[in-house]
């Protein structure tokens, strides 16, 4: 049955993943532009560990989404906008899964071990060395910037609903609004 609202787990996962992705992008841009050294290494390790954390949260989020579903979009939204909303949500789900997987695969192939917060070794057995790893990381970067672009349009659409259309779209993704 279609739920009437997003559960608090769905809302929490949505906002935690969004904040972590924003942080990961800022750390990534900083780390690749720093000179070699301790700080750069530390930022790479943080980027990889938080990136894998996002992957785990996204897997949990997709399981919740598949088992619970999502509420219907607000009434009165034109058909093309409904199609655009569904397509962009599907694309966002695809990218938040693909981006960390590519980062993980590329790093494992190219050059560095993947160690989750120094606690668990998670390097994947991918051969091909530097050339393969660099190519995968190139796609990782491209997909990550596409994700940023889509997320900005998505956030602008949410604000448009809230401030201009004045419907409940944004409110229903916020804490404390259990019923639509
Ligand atoms: C949702 C999660 C992630 C996001 C949003 C993300 C985002 C990015 C972005 C935007 C860049 C490009 C920075 C630039 O060149 O200006 C980047 C680079 C990189 N990412 Fe990620 N990343 C994520 C997850 C991961 C994971 C899980 C790993 C590895 C386990 C990883 C490893 C790397 C590495 C090694 C680079 C640097 C590539 C280079 O030196 O050119 N990332 N990431
Ligand atoms: C990296 C950042 C973000 C990602 C990856 C993301 C991803 C998603 C996805 C996949 C959905 C569909 C949920 C579902 O049906 O299961 C969604 C819904 C939603 N997001 Fe985001 N989001 C991000 C940031 C934001 C921001 C910054 C805002 C607000 C300014 C926002 C507002 C919303 C709202 C209001 C919904 C509910 C739409 C509805 O079903 O009516 N999101 N988001």
pLDDT tens, position by position, 76-97: 889 999 999 999 999 999 999 9
pLDDT band at 112; cut points 50, 70, 90: confident
The residue-averaged pLDDT of 150-156 equals 98
Residue 138 Cα: closest atom of ligand 1: 41
For a mutational test of ligand 1's pocket, the pick from 43, 51, 137, i.e. the residue with the most ligand atoms closer than 8 A to its C-beta, is 51
Q: What percent of the chain has pLDDT over 70?
A: 98
SS3 call for 121:
strand
Q: How far is the C-alpha of 155 from the C-alpha of 140, rounded, in Å?
A: 22
Q: How far is the C-alpha of 19 from the C-alpha of 12, rounded, in Å?
A: 11
What's the pLDDT score for residue 76? 87
What's the pLDDT score for residue 180? 40
Contact 19, 151 (CB under 8 A): no
Q: From atom 28 of ligand 1, which residue's Cα is the shortest distance away? A: 103
Q: Is the CB of 169 under 6 A from ligand 2?
A: yes
pLDDT band at 178; cut points 50, 70, 90: low
The secondary structure of residue 172, as a DSSP letter, is G
**Number of Cβ within a 10 Å radius of residue 69:** 13
Q: Which two tokens stand for residue 29?
A: 């841009």
At residue 112, φ and ψ (nearest 5 deg) are -135, 145
Mean pLDDT score of the chain: 95
CA of 169 to the centre of ligand 2 (A): 10
pLDDT band at 1; cut points 50, 70, 90: confident
Q: What is the pLDDT of residues 8-67, one digit of tens each?
A: 999 999 999 999 999 999 999 999 999 999 999 999 999 999 999 999 999 999 999 999
Q: Is the CB of 65 under 6 A from ligand 2?
A: yes
Q: How far is the C-alpha of 57 from the C-alpha of 68, rounded, in Å?
A: 16
């Amino acid at each position: 049955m279609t739920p009437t609202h997003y559960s608090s787990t769905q809302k929490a996962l949505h906002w935690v993943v969004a904040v972590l992705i924003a942080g990961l992008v800022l750390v990534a841009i900083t780390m690749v532009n720093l000179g070699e050294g301790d700080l750069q290494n530390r930022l790479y390790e943080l980027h990889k560990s938080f990136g894998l954390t996002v992957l785990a949260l996204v897997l949990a989020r997709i399981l919740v989404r598949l088992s619970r579903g999502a509420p219907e979009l607000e009434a009165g939204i034109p058909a093309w906008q409904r199609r655009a909303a569904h397509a962009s949500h599907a694309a966002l789900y695809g990218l938040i899964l693909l981006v960390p997987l590519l980062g993980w695969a590329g790093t494992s192939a190219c050059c560095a071990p993947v160690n989750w917060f120094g606690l668990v070794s998670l390097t994947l057995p991918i051969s091909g060395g530097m050339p393969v790893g660099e190519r995968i990381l190139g796609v990782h970067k491209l997909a990550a910037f596409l994700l940023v672009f889509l997320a900005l349009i998505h956030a602008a659409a949410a604000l448009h609903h809230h401030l201009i259309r004045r419907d409940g779209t944004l409110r229903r993704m916020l804490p404390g609004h259990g019923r639509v």
